[in-house]
Each structure stands twice: as C-alpha cells, then as structure tokens.
C-alpha cells in the first residue's frame, strides 16, 4: 500500500500587463518645449501641445497602465503659455494695422522719430547759387534745387562749381543748393522730414535770395540724395503747381514711407520723376525707392525707376555726371522722355 502526500496549495500571482508611458504625454511635452524655445508664441506648436496633453490626461485617467501625467501637465502649461503669447502678438499687429491700414510690420519697425536739432532761420541758411553766365538776376529762370543728405551740407555744388557752371550755361537754368532745416553740428544739417516744415523752409530761403535769382515756377526741379531725396520727393509731389518733378538718389530717412497726397492734384499728370538706387544698397533704401516710384505713378505722374546692378555703396549713381543734364531736361520739358 503506497502512501499519499497532500501538497499545500499555493497562491501564485497572475501575470500583469506592463505599465507604459503615454505617447500623447510625450508628444504634448515635446511640442510644449518647442513652442517656447524655438518661436515663442508659434501657434501651431502651442496648439499641438495643448491638444496632445489633454488627450494624454484623459487616457491616463482611464487606464492605470499608462503613466506620464507629469509630462502631460508640463506640456499643457507650456502650450497654454505659448498660446497666450501668440494671441498677444496677433492682437498687437491687429492694433497697429487699425492705427494705419496702409502700414506694415517693417514700416513700424523701421520708422523712428527724427533726432532733435537746432532749427535754422532762413536768413542763416547756407546757400550756393549758380546761374548761367550773362543772365540777369531780375529775370525769372528755370531752376534745379539740390537737397543734401543727412548730416551733410550743400557744399557739393561749390566743390564741383565749374561742372555746375557748365551745366547752367548749357541748360539755361539756375542751380541752387540749400542747407537743411536743422543744424546738428558745425557744417552738419538734417531735414525734419515734416512736409510742411521743410517745404515752407525751402520757400523762405529762396525768398531771402530773390535778389540773386528769381525762379520761374513751375519750371523748377528738385534733386537730392538720401534724406534729401526723400524730402525732394515729398515736397515735389505735394506741390505740382511749383515743381515740375524731382530726381531721387538712394532715398532714405527716419520715416520709411512717402508723404502721399490723399488724391491726385491737377498738376501731377505733368510731373516727371526719376528714382535711382543701387541694387545692393541697404534694404531700406531699395524699398523706399520703390515706394516713391509707386507713389508717383499712383498720383498720375511719370516716373522712371532704376536699381543699378552691383552697386552697394550709398552714393549717387555711376552715370550721374553723364546723365544729370538729360534727366533735368526731361523734368523741365526741354526734351522728350528718354526711353
């Protein structure tokens, strides 16, 4: 007879499924981080972080086998924070656009107030006048008024007086160079870039020198460089009854848009403008040059626009000496518009 032995019963645990980290929680946290360290306020990243983090929390709550609640909460916080930043940026740009519907972001970023300077009395302005040989100062004459750039003065004409005297004799016009509205330092001036202020100043200076030269309006052209080019464009476009047009060389300034009249004026159709800039100059100069060309055409004036290839130096164009007479002849109606 064999013996039987009863072995004690055992309570072995049943195997459990493995615990895993929620993929949605990882995704939410990763996009939350990206939304803050790459482009703060970038809505596609921040919204993705919020969506996946919410999804992760819902799944973790429903399943004890999922972990990653801390990562999901982190992604949620970063996503909402970045979303608020993004909405604030959008609201700011909308606010700027409502202030001026024609403005753009780079207009707002580039524009800045003109620096303070000491206003020049018209009788104290530096002025250079060159008239054709043999011309009587009492007789009205067509003219070309030179407006210098920021921080400079009108001595360019005096430096090249012999060349300008030859041009005056050839064209039968007067050349006048005027120092700008405000004095920065000795021999250094700037324009205010306020249309009314600069325009009235130019007229007042000319009135002070009527005994030396009397201009025959509207047979008068403005030509200027940099800030002076900007002022030339604004003043000529605002008053076609006085100015036949202007030549702009690399316009620039503190304000980054032309002063455009609300509507075209009767004399605009008869005006001629030239807008020149180096193709490789600073972006602001190239862009402002294009804006003036567009503004002149919008008012119904004639405008020729040119960006000189390979030119990066902020200066007058390489064909200035060769073509200046031709450009002035066009503006003053002395020849056909060049093709």
- List the one residue out of 299, 245, 253 whose CA is nearest residue 274: 245
Is 258 domain-assigned?
A: yes
247 shares its domain with 143: yes
C-alpha–C-alpha distance, residues 83 and 178, integer Å: 54
In angstroms, rounded to a whole number, what is the distance separating the alpha carbons of residues 129 and 161? 10
- Considering the domain architecture, whether residues 40 and 135 belong to the same structural domain is answered as no
CA proximity to 229, closest of 317, 146, 123: 146
Cα gap 52→23, rounded to integer Å: 9
pLDDT, residue 62, reads: 80
pTM surpassing 0.75? no
- Assess whether 239 and 321 both reside in one domain: yes
Q: pLDDT tens-digit profile of 273-309?
A: 999 999 999 999 999 999 999 999 999 999 999 999 9
159 and 72 share one domain: no
Structural domain range at position 197? 118-331
Instruction: Kindly state whether residues 198 and 324 are assigned to the same domain.
Output: yes
φ/ψ of residue 245, rounded to 5? 155, -165
Distance CA 251, CA 258 (A): 10
CA distance 79 to 73: 10
Per-residue tokens: 47: 């919204």
Which are the contacts of 205, defined by CB distance < 8 A and separation ≥ 6?
122, 125, 127, 178
For residue 188, give the 3-state DSSP assignment: strand
| Closest by Cα among 231, 284, 230 to 106 | 284
Comparing C-alpha atoms, which of 172, 87, 180 is closest to residue 134?
Answer: 172
What pLDDT score does 236 carry?
Answer: 98
Pairing of strands 214-225, 245-249: parallel
In a domain, 289, yes or no: yes
Match 């920065």 to its residue by tokens.
184
User: Residue-wise pLDDT tens for the chain (339 aa)?
Assistant: 445 545 455 455 555 567 788 888 788 889 888 888 877 667 788 888 889 989 888 888 887 777 888 888 988 898 888 888 888 887 776 665 554 444 444 454 445 556 678 999 999 999 999 999 999 999 999 999 999 999 999 998 999 999 999 999 999 999 999 999 999 999 999 999 999 999 999 999 999 999 999 999 999 999 999 999 999 999 999 999 999 999 999 999 998 899 999 999 999 999 999 999 999 999 999 999 999 999 999 999 999 999 999 999 999 999 999 999 999 999 999 754 333
Nearest to 41 by CA among 81, 8, 95, 1: 81
Domain match, 189 and 145 both: yes
Geometric angle at alpha carbon 85, from 79 and 86, rounded to 5°: 85
Same domain, 300 and 214: yes
Last residue of a domain, one of 72, 99, 126: 99
**DSSP codes joined into one string, 303-337:** EEEEEETT--SSSS-TTHHHHHHHHHHHHTTSSPP
Give per-residue pLDDT as tens, 152-174. Answer: 999 989 999 999 999 999 999 99
Does 271 share its domain with 175?
Answer: yes
- Which token pair is 115? 């620096």
Please indicate, yes or no, if residue 81 is contained in any of the structural domains.
yes
* Rounded Cα gap, residues 76 and 268, in angstroms: 60
Closest CA to 246 of 259, 254, 256: 259
Both tokens of 210, joined, read 């009527």
Instruction: Decide which of 39, 64, 99 is a domain's last residue.
Output: 99
Whether 186 and 317 share a structural domain? yes
The per-residue pLDDT for 94 is 66
Count of domains for the chain = 2
């Amino acid at each position: 007879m064999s013996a039987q032995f009863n072995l004690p019963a055992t309570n072995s645990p049943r195997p459990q499924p493995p615990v895993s980290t929620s993929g949605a929680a990882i995704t939410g946290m990763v996009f939350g981080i990206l939304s803050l360290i790459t482009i703060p306020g970038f809505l596609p990243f921040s919204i993705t972080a919020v969506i996946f983090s919410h999804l992760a929390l819902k799944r973790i709550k429903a399943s004890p086998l999922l972990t990653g609640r801390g990562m999901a909460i982190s992604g949620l916080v970063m996503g909402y924070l970045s979303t608020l930043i993004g909405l604030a940026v959008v609201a700011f740009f909308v606010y700027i656009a409502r202030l001026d519907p024609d403005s753009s972001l780079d207009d707002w970023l580039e524009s800045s107030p003109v620096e303070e300077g000491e206003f020049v009395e018209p009788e104290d302005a530096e002025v250079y006048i060159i008239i054709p040989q043999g011309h009587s100062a009492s007789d009205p004459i067509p003219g070309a008024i030179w407006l210098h750039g920021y921080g400079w003065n009108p001595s360019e004409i005096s430096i090249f007086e012999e060349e300008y005297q030859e041009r005056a004799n050839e064209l039968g016009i007067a050349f006048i160079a005027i120092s700008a509205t405000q004095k920065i330092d000795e021999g250094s001036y700037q324009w205010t870039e306020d249309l009314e202020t600069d325009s009235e100043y130019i007229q007042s200076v000319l009135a002070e020198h009527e005994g030396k030269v009397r201009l025959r309006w509207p047979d008068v052209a403005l030509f200027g460089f940099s800030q002076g080019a900007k002022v030339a464009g604004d003043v000529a476009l605002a008053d076609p009854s006085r100015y036949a047009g202007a030549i702009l060389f690399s316009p620039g300034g503190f304000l980054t848009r032309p002063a455009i009249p609300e509507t075209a004026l009767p004399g605009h159709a008869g005006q001629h403008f030239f807008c020149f800039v180096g193709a490789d100059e600073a972006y602001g100069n190239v862009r402002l040059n294009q804006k003036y060309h567009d503004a002149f055409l919008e008012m119904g004036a004639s405008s020729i626009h040119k960006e000189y290839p390979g030119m990066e130096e902020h200066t007058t164009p390489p064909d200035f000496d060769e073509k200046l007479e031709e450009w002035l002849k066009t503006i003053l109606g002395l020849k056909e518009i060049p093709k």
